[in-house]
Copies of this chain bind each other. A is one copy, B any other.
């Protein structure tokens, strides 16, 4: 069944009133009809099965048939601190990261970022990509997109179990860190990933001073957008979330 996140206030008692993009998608793109059923999510963790009663291109009215606890909440909460990348790369990270199981995303700006500020309606577009990926992958809680931060703000917003991918790290690999005592028991992990040109040595030093562990991905040379996704996947696998 198709899934749609809608604002909380659009669900009242056993009635759902869907407008905007989702209504367009339901009536025009998917061409659903009265009596068809959809899953509606209000970001509370519940899933509502809704039977469509009336619909136009702009509004869909339906009745809640049943509700149940949603699945797809990962046992480990990963916040991805991702330096801004070129538009299409950043969007790929958002889409695939949410699909894999991210809990939150903090975009940040570091020294070697080519993109220094998201332009125009970019944040709105990111939000839409996150929502679509969450709907498609069966999540019942929308991963949170934080405002764009500086690297310093990003570092200071983390407490523990933070790691930064650094291709020049010679000591510890990702697996070694994830299997170390402090990360093995961690239920939230903050993952820092740099821009296309990587972090500068002084940025890495600052991170280390803030207690952020640095990890390599072995001898693999991965693009910036692949590195983060590979690490998210590895964390989920390590934590028993990949089956």
Is A217 interfacial (CB-CB < 8 Å)? Answer: yes
Residues of B within 8 A of A236 (CB): 220
Residues of B within 8 A of A100 (CB): 220, 222, 226, 230
Find A217's partner among B216, B223, B226, B242 (CB 8 Å cutoff).
B242
Residues of B within 8 A of A242 (CB): 173-175, 217-218, 220, 230, 234
**How many copies of this chain are found per oligomer?**
2
| Inter-subunit contact B221/A137 (CB<8 Å) | yes
Q: Which of A218, A222, A234, A243 gathers most chain B CB within 10 Å?
A: A243
Residues of A192-220 contacting chain B, CB below 8 A: 215-220
Give the docked Cα–Cα distance between A238 and B174 (Å).
11
| Inter-subunit contact A218/B230 (CB<8 Å) | no
Is A240 interfacial (CB-CB < 8 Å)? Answer: yes
Q: Using an 8 Å CB-CB cutoff, how does the interface string of A18-42 with B read, 1 for contact, 0 for none?
A: 0000000000000000000000000
| Inter-subunit contact A175/B218 (CB<8 Å) | no
Residues of A97-145 contacting chain B, CB below 8 A: 99-101, 136-138
With A100-B230, A217-B243 already in contact, 14 other A-B pairs whose C-beta atoms are closer than 8 Å = A99-B223, A100-B220, A100-B222, A136-B223, A137-B221, A138-B219, A173-B243, A174-B242, A174-B243, A217-B242, A220-B241, A230-B233, A234-B237, A237-B238
